[in-house]
Amino acid sequence: MSENTLAPSQLDQRDASWYVDKLVQILMFVGGISAIIFIIGIFVFITKEGLGFLFEGFSFTEFFGSINWRPTSANPTYGALALIVGTASVTGVAMLVAIPFSLGAAVYISEFATGRTKETLKVLVELLAAIPSVVWGFIGMSIMNEFIIEVFDVPIGLNVLNAGIILGLMAAPIMTTIAEDALKAVPDRYREAAEAMGATRWQIIRQVIMPAAKNGLVSAVLLGVGRGFGETMAVLMASGHAINIPTSPFDSVRALTATIAAELGETAQGSEHYGALFALGILLFIITFIINLAADLVVRGIRKK
Amino acid sequence: MVASETRTKVLEVDNLSISYGAKTAMSGLNLDVYENEIFGIIGPANSGKTSFLRAINRMDAFDTNMKVSGSLRFMGTEVSAWRNAYALRRQIGVVFPLPVGLPMSIYDNVAFAAKLRGVKGKAAIDEVVERCLTRAALWDEVKDRLDSLGSQLSGGQQQRLTIARALSQEPTLLMLDEFSIAVDPVTTMRIEDVLKELKKEMTILLVTNLVQQAERLADRTALFLSGSLIEIGETGALFEGQTQDQRTKDYLEGRFG
Amino acid sequence: MTARFAATELNLSNYRTERRYRLMLFSMTAMLVLPVLIILGILVLKGAPMISWEFLFEFPRRGMTEGGIYPALLGTIFIVVVDLIFAMPIGVAAAIYLSEYAPDNWLTRTINLAIINLAGVPSIVHALFGVGAFVIFFGFGTSILAAALTVAIMTLPLVIVATRESLQAVPQAFREACWSMGASRWQTIFAVVLPNAISGILTGLILEVSRTAGETAPIMFTGAAFFLPFLPESVFEQTMALSLHLYVVSTQVPEVPEALPYGVALVLIGIVLIMNAISIVFRSYLRGKKKW
Q: What is the ipTM of this complex?
A: 0.90
Secondary structure of residue A117 in the 3-state scheme: helix
- Using a CB-CB distance cutoff of 8 angstroms, which residues of chain B are in contact with residue C177? 94, 96, 100, 102, 162, 165
Say if residues A233 and A138 touch (Cβ distance below 8 Å).
no
Nearest by CB: C118 against A35, A138, A169:
A35
Residue A65's pLDDT band, with cuts at 50, 70 and 90, is confident
Instruction: Give how far A109 is from chain C: nearest CA, Å.
Output: 8
B110 contacts B116 by C-beta, under 8 angstroms: no
Taking the C-alpha atoms of residue A80 and residue A57, their distance in angstroms, rounded to an integer, is 13
Residue among C54, C13, C1, C75 nearest C246 (CA): C75
Question: What is the DSSP code (8-state) at residue B202?
Answer: S
Strands B92-95, C60-61: pairing is unpaired
Distance (Å) from the alpha carbon of B158 to chain A's nearest alpha carbon:
25
Nearest partner of B161 among B145, B214, B199, judged by Cα: B145
8 Å CB contact between A258 and A89: no
Subunits with 3+ Cβ pairs within 8 Å of C are A, B
Nearest-CB residue to B89 (from C182, C191, C192): C182
> Do A103 and A175 meet the contact criterion of CB atoms below 8 Å apart?
yes
Residue type, C13: S
Distance CA(C128)–CA(C125), nearest Å, equals 5
Q: Is residue B188 part of a domain?
A: no
Q: Which residue has the higher pLDDT, C101 or A248?
A: C101
In angstroms, the CA A9 to CA B84 distance is: 11
- The three-state secondary structure class of A245 is coil
Query: Which of B87, B94, B117 is opposite residue C180, by nearest beta carbon?
Result: B94
pLDDT in tens, C103-158: 888 999 999 999 999 998 999 999 999 999 999 999 999 999 999 999 999 999 99
Does domain C53-288 correspond to CATH entry 1.10.3720.10? yes
| Mean pLDDT of the residues in chain A | 88
The predicted structure's pLDDT at residue B95:
92
Q: State chain C's mean pLDDT as an integer.
A: 88
pLDDT tens, N- to C-terminus, chain B (257 residues): 445 457 888 999 999 999 998 999 999 999 999 999 999 999 988 899 999 999 999 999 888 889 999 999 998 889 998 888 999 999 999 999 888 888 889 999 999 989 988 888 899 999 999 999 999 989 999 989 999 888 888 888 999 999 999 999 999 999 999 988 888 898 899 899 999 999 999 999 999 988 999 999 999 999 999 999 999 999 999 888 888 888 998 888 888 76
Report in angstroms the alpha-carbon separations of A162 from A142, A158, B26.
11, 6, 67
Q: What is the 3-state secondary structure (H, E, C) of chain C?
A: CHHHHCCCHHHHHHHHHHHHHHHHHHHHHHHHHHHHHHHHHHHHHHHHHHCCHHHHHCCEECCCCEECCHHHHHHHHHHHHHHHHHHHHHHHHHHHHHHHHCCCCHHHHHHHHHHHHHHHCCHHHHHHHHHHHHHHHCCCCCCHHHHHHHHHHHHHHHHHHHHHHHHHCCCHHHHHHHHHCCCCHHHHHHHHHHHHHHHHHHHHHHHHHHHHHHCCHHHHCCCECCCCCCCCCCCCCCECCHHHHHHHHHHHCCCCCCHHHHHHHHHHHHHHHHHHHHHHHHHHHHHHCCCC
Domain coverage including residue B34: 8-91+205-257
Which residues from B are below 8 Å from C189, CB to CB? Answer: none
Q: Is residue B141 part of a domain?
A: no
Contact list in B for residue C186 (CB cut-off 8 A) is: none
Q: Is residue B86 part of a domain?
A: yes
Per DSSP, A253 falls in state B
Confidence at residue A70, expressed as pLDDT on a 0 to 100 scale: 86
How many residues does this entry show for chain C? 292
pLDDT of residue A2: 39
Positive/negative CA dihedral, C177, C181, C183, C187: negative
Strands B9-20 and B23-34: antiparallel
Length of chain B: 257
Nearest CA among C287, C164, C179 for reference residue B102? C179
What is the pairing mode between strands C60-61 and C66-67?
Answer: antiparallel
Q: For chain B, which chains pass the contact test of at least 3 CB pairs under 8 Å?
A: A, C
- State whether residue B59 sits within 8 Å of chain C by CB: yes
Name the CATH topology of A82-304: MetI-like fold (1.10.3720)
pLDDT grade for A237, boundaries at 50, 70 and 90:
very high
List the one residue out of C96, C201, C170 whose CA is nearest residue B102: C170
Residues A36-50: tens digit of each pLDDT: 999 999 999 999 998
3-state class (DSSP) for residue A147: helix
Closest-CA residue of B relative to A11 is B87
Residues of C with Cβ-Cβ distance to B90 under 8 angstroms: 181-182
Question: Where do you find CATH 1.10.3720.10 in chain A?
Answer: 82-304
* DSSP code for A240: B
B56 located within any domain: yes
Distance CA A276, CA A281 (A): 9
**A159 has pLDDT over 60:** yes
**Can you give the pLDDT at residue C8?**
65
B189 CB near a chain A CB, below 8 Å? no
Of B87, B201, B202, the CB nearest to A11: B87
Spatial distance between the Cα atoms of B16 and B51, rounded to a whole number of angstroms = 11
Q: Helix count (H) and strand count (E) of chain B? A: 10, 10
Q: What is the pTM of this model?
A: 0.89
- B87 vs A4: CB contact, 8 Å cut-off? no
Residues in chain B with CB shorter than 8 Å from the CB of C175 are 62
Provide the pLDDT confidence category of residue A1 given band limits of 50, 70 and 90.
very low
Mean pLDDT computed over A186-196: 86
- Residues of chain C positioned with their CB less than 8 A from the CB of A29: 97, 101
Nearest CA in chain C to B101: C174
**pLDDT of the residue at B1:** 45
Rounded to a whole number of angstroms, the distance from the CA of A8 to the nearest CA of chain B is 7
Amino acid at B217: L
Q: Which residues of B touch C291 (CB under 8 A)?
A: 103, 149, 151-152
Count of helix runs (H) and strand runs (E) in chain A? 15, 2
Count of beta carbons in the 10 Å neighbourhood of residue C208: 25
B246 Cα to chain A: minimum distance (Å)? 39
Check residue C20 and give its pLDDT.
85
Could you tell me if B90 lies within 8 Å of chain C, comparing CB atoms?
yes
For helices A272-304 and A256-263, the axis angle rounded to 10 degrees is 140
Record: contact C98-A200, CB cut-off 8 A: no
Which helix (H) or strand (E) covers residue A30, if one does?
helix A16-55
DSSP secondary structure letter of residue B6: G
Tell me the C-alpha distance between B112 and C191, whole Å.
9
Confidence at residue A3, expressed as pLDDT on a 0 to 100 scale: 43
**Hey, is the C-beta of B87 within 8 angstroms of any chain A C-beta?**
yes
Chain B residues whose CB is inside 8 A of the A18 CB are: 84, 86-87
CA A98 from centre of chain: 13
- Asked whether the beta carbons of B68 and B80 are under 8 A apart, the reply is yes
Phi, psi at residue B64, to the nearest 5°? -65, -20
Question: Is residue B17 in a domain?
Answer: yes
pLDDT in tens, A262-294: 999 888 888 889 999 999 999 999 999 999 889
Phi, psi of B183 (to 5 degrees): -125, 145
Q: How many CB atoms lie within 10 A of CB C103?
A: 9
pLDDT of residue C3: 46
What lies within 8 Å, CB to CB, of A180 at 6+ separation is A106, A109, A110, A122
In a domain, B194, yes or no: no
pLDDT of residue C7: 58
Angle at the Cα of C173 (from B191 to B144), degrees rounded to 5? 50
Which residues share a beta bridge with B222?
A: B41, B232
Which of C182, C195, C196 is nearest residue B116 as measured by Cβ atoms? C182
Which residue from C122, C184, C275 is facing A18, i.e. has the nearest CB?
C184
Q: Which amino acid is at C111?
A: I
DSSP of B98-125? S----SSBHHHHHHHHHHHTT--SHHHH
Q: Can you give the pLDDT at residue A7?
A: 64
Supply angle C-alpha A233, A234, A240, rounded to 5. Answer: 100
- Does some domain include residue B84? yes
3-state helix, strand, coil in chain A (%, to 5): 75, 0, 20
Q: How many domains does chain B fold into? A: 1
The answer to whether residues C224 and C238 touch, using CB atoms and an 8 Å cutoff, is: yes
Q: How many CB atoms are located within 10 Å of the residue A120 CB?
A: 13
pLDDT higher for A3 or C135?
C135
Q: How far apart are CA B143 and CA B166, in angstroms?
A: 18
Q: State yes or no: pLDDT of C86 exceeds 70.
A: yes
Sequence-ordered strand ranges (E) for chain A: 69-70, 77-78
Q: Is residue B68 part of a domain?
A: yes
Q: How far apart are the CA of B240 and the nearest CA of chain C, in angstroms?
A: 36
Instruction: Output the CA–CA distances (angstroms, integers) from residue B182 to B102, B128, B185, C179, C269, in the order listed.
Output: 17, 26, 10, 22, 52
